[in-house]
């Protein structure tokens, strides 16, 4: 939590955005440690595990809250899984903040590992994760083929583009601490929906973006002082630099037709600017550029400006 300490004590941070998009998760203990930093109360149920032959185990807040943080927003998407969903689910169920984005992956199985004599290991599923309201994080896996195709199916039926296409079951209705309705059935459904930016999925962007890191490294190696005095706010690639990048991509075998290029150019330019900012200002410079046009980030920041984000989101 050293980064959080610096943000609060040195930067005067009052509100917090936690971005767990495309985060496949980690250790349960780390998730509960993070959550304990965000709850002042001791003994708040954060998550619990329970299985057919495994007794329920509760994981509660420790009360060791070192930082005074006001409003919280958690960003999730279809790539947020396991421990990421534990964090989002606890924040939502306990009304500690709002969840922004798209329905999370739905991975909530507890596994125990047993070592075998030949050096291999067996992982046995023994229980499930449940949020504080009693929701199972795990999505249905009775049909393994459908389970494997779930994310593709979400895209095809429009769930990643419209909240109206998100499937919920009234029979799996739960309530947060303040009485807000949330749904089970696998994954965490956000309080505020943000559709996927399909530009990232364009083939043209995929082809061009792979060349950005090496191009910027070589360019700044040859022109080390060109952006040295440029602030992050003013970091913007010129037409000349962009054309030089296109020439480099062409040399590497990538040519994009004008129509496709026009569609993905703003995103490619943002990638170039972010890489330049990272060279001079590290990760902070990179994300300062990258987040400027991130819709989920902007929605989260707008929510944090409100006196009560939970009431504000209800009007969205």
Instruction: Tell me what pLDDT residue 170 has.
Output: 72
Is 284 within 8 Å of 231 (Cβ atoms)? Answer: no
- Domain residue limits, the chain: 2-196, 200-293
Instruction: Tell me what pLDDT residue 10 has.
Output: 83
Torsion (CA) 139, 143, 144, 150 in degrees, nearest 10: -50
CA 81 to mean position of chain CA atoms: 10
**Among 211, 203, 190, 223, CA closest to 313:** 190
Give the strand pairing for 72-76 and 16-19: parallel
Q: Which CATH class is domain 2-196?
A: alpha beta
Instruction: Tell me what pLDDT residue 316 has.
Output: 57
For residues 89 and 57, what is the distance between their CA atoms, to the nearest angstrom?
A: 17
Mean pLDDT, the chain, as a whole number? 92
- Strands of 121-131's sheet, edge to edge? 57-62, 42-50, 121-131, 109-115
Instruction: Tell me what pLDDT residue 166 has.
Output: 85
Per-residue pLDDT of the chain (316 residues; tens, 9 = 90+): 557 778 888 888 999 999 999 999 988 999 999 999 899 899 999 999 999 989 999 999 998 877 889 999 999 999 999 999 999 999 999 999 999 999 999 999 988 888 999 999 998 888 999 999 999 999 999 899 999 999 999 999 999 999 888 878 777 899 999 999 999 988 999 999 999 999 999 999 999 999 999 999 999 999 999 999 999 989 999 999 999 999 999 999 999 999 999 999 999 999 999 999 999 999 999 999 999 999 999 999 999 999 888 887 765 5
CB-based contacts of 304, cutoff 8 Å, min separation 6: 15, 17, 71, 73
What are the pLDDT digits (tens) for 125-140? 889 999 999 999 999 9
């Amino acid at each position: 939590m050293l980064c959080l300490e610096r943000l609060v004590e040195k930067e005067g941070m009052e509100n917090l955005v936690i971005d767990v998009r495309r985060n496949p998760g980690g250790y349960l203990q780390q998730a509960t440690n993070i959550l304990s930093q965000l709850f002042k109360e001791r003994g708040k149920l954060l998550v619990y595990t329970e299985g057919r032959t495994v007794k329920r185990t509760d994981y509660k807040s420790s009360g060791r809250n070192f930082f005074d943080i006001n409003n919280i927003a958690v960003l999730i998407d279809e790539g947020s899984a396991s421990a990421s969903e534990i964090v989002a689910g606890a924040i939502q169920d306990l009304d500690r903040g709002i969840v922004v984005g798209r329905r999370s992956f739905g991975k909530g199985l507890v596994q125990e590992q047993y070592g075998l004599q030949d050096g291999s290991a067996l992982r046995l599923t023994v229980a499930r994760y449940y949020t504080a309201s009693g929701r199972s994080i795990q999505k249905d896996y009775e049909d393994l083929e459908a389970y494997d195709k779930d994310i593709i199916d979400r895209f095809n039926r429009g769930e990643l583009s419209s909240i109206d296409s998100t499937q919920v079951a009234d029979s799996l209705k739960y309530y947060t601490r303040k009485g807000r309705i949330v749904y089970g059935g696998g994954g965490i459904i956000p309080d505020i929906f943000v559709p996927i930016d399909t530009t990232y999925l364009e083939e043209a962007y995929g082809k061009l973006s792979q060349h950005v890191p090496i191009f910027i490294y070589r360019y700044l190696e040859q022109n080390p002082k060109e952006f040295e005095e440029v602030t992050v706010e003013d970091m913007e690639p010129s037409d000349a630099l962009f054309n030089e990048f296109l020439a480099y991509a062409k040399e590497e075998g990538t040519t994009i037709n004008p129509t496709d290029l026009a569609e993905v150019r703003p995103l490619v330019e943002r990638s170039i600017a972010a890489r330049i900012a990272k060279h001079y200002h590290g990760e902070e410079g990179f994300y300062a550029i990258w987040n400027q046009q991130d819709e989920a980030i902007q929605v989260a920041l707008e929510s944090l400006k409100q006196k009560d984000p939970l009431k504000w989101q209800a009007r969205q």
